[in-house]
Structure formats: structure tokens, C-alpha cells
Amino acid sequence: MGLVLGGALSVQFGSAVAALLFPRTGVAGAVTLRLTISAALLLVVCRPRLRGHDRSAWLAAGAFGLALAGMNSLFYQAIERIPLGPAVTLEVLGPLALSVFSARRPASWGWAGLALAGVVLLGQGGFDRLNPAGVAFAFGAGAMWAAYIVLSARVGDRFPGVDGLALALTLAALVTLPLGILDGGAALLDPSVLTLGAALAVLASGLPYTLELLALRRIPTATFAVLMSLGPAVATLAGWLVLRQALTLLECAAIVLVIAASIGAVRVNVAAARRPERR
């Protein structure tokens, strides 16, 4: 749990740093900086082995890399248009849905209904105020996040250490590089931009992905998925402290409902996991 919470703090404050980069590099440029620098750092530190992996391992790493590229690109498009807290609240519905479908228990569907009520309440504040495109990008990022969780566990099983993560990040960086260069141009080579990009890479990619990969070797995938739902609270705090993004009471209540639903889903999954042991 400590690994998951540490990763959540790192990635959400990293997202706030990314928003500071958007005016200078564009969204795609910020994504490219984050993924390219974090991939380079991991390749230097880990020096992953390229031999000794079968076809299924390479396919898992490739799919993981595409999920990383999609998740980062869609999420950054979202936070350019809507505040960080609501963006993460909508995004976290992907992992929550994964948990519900994994548990297959009536109580899980009840918690999913509570999360849906939170989304409806968030809409009462006006999705038009949030920007419809931003909302759609956040939902898309949530779907990619669910895929990331499943594929991260598979890659962790097939590669030693964080070798699989380093290789997947490299592919994600290569996929986003052309659009990033078109969007950011020469600004990507500015020393101040590179400094912020390095901070972004460590906070939002290298550190949290490593912590999450290690966590997934210790806890079930479904439990991990809903523990990550504490992200909306951390994101709201980061948006307020770093970006001065204030939310209405209605929006805060919606975020609390989604977090409560995730905590309830965690309890259902833990109870389901322990029941066979008692037999």
C-alpha cells in the first residue's frame, strides 16, 4: 500500500508540473519530454537484457508501451481542458470498472453505482464548464489506465526487475516522438524546458511506474486498481497547490463519492480473496 500511495503522490504532482509546460511545448511536446527522458533514465540505470525473452514477453511489453503512450497522451489532453481533480476522477473510473468486472460480486456493482452517482453529480456542476472534449479524453485515459494495470502485471511476470518497464517506456517514447516534435519544436531543447521535463519524467513516469510495478508483485491486480482511486484526492490537492485550481463544493462532493466507491470496492475484493483461505 505504501508503494501505491507513494506512486500516486508522485504522479499527480508530476501532472501539475506538466500543466506548467503546456504553454511552452504543447500537450504532445510535454508527453514526449516525459516519456523520452524517463525512458532514457531507465535504460541507463537498468540496462535491460534484450535476449532470453520469448514472443509472448515481447508482445506484452509492446502492448504495455502502447498503453503507456495512449494513457499519457489522452490524460494530458484532458488536463489541458479541465481541472486536474475532475480529470483524475473521471479517469479513475477505468480501474474501478476493472475491479468490478474482476470481482463479479453484487456488492461490487453497488459500489460501481455509487461511483456513477459521483459522475452524475460532477455533471450537475456542468460538463460544459468542464469542457466536453476534456471529459471524453479523461474517459479514454481511464480505459487506457485499466489496460495499463493488466499489462503491467503481465510484464512484471515476464521480465526481471524493471526491464519490461524500461523497454515499454522506450516504445511509448518512440510512438509519441513525431507528434511531440511537431507540437513542441525547438522549445523542447530549451534548457529551462528540459529541466522541467526531467522533473516531470522522474515524478510522473520513472518513480511512480517503478513503485507500481513493484506493488503489483505484492498485491492482486484488482486491489491495486482501486487503491489507485485515491488519485482524485491527491490530484485535487496538487491542482490547488501548484495550479491554483479551485473546485466547487458540488465537484468536491462528487470526487468524495468516487473515492468512497473505490474504498468499498477494495473491501469487497479483499473479503473475496480471504474467503477461500478460511475454508
Q: What is the pLDDT of residues 187-198, one digit of tens each?
A: 898 999 999 889
pLDDT in tens, 173-213: 999 999 999 999 888 989 999 998 898 888 887 788 778 87
% of the chain with per-residue pLDDT over 90: 25
3-state secondary structure of 49: coil
Rounded CA-CA distance 80/68 in Å is 18
Q: What is the mean pLDDT of residues 105-122?
A: 77
Rounded CA-CA distance 258/54 in Å is 40
User: Predicted confidence band at 143 (pLDDT cuts at 50, 70, 90)?
Assistant: very high
pLDDT confidence of residue 178: 94
Rounded CA-CA distance 241/141 in Å is 23
pLDDT confidence of residue 279: 41
At which residue does the C-alpha cell 501539475 appear? Answer: 16
User: Predicted confidence band at 278 (pLDDT cuts at 50, 70, 90)?
Assistant: very low
Q: Tell me the CA distances in angstroms from 42 to 68, 135, 201, 210, 221, one per residue in order.
A: 15, 32, 10, 10, 24
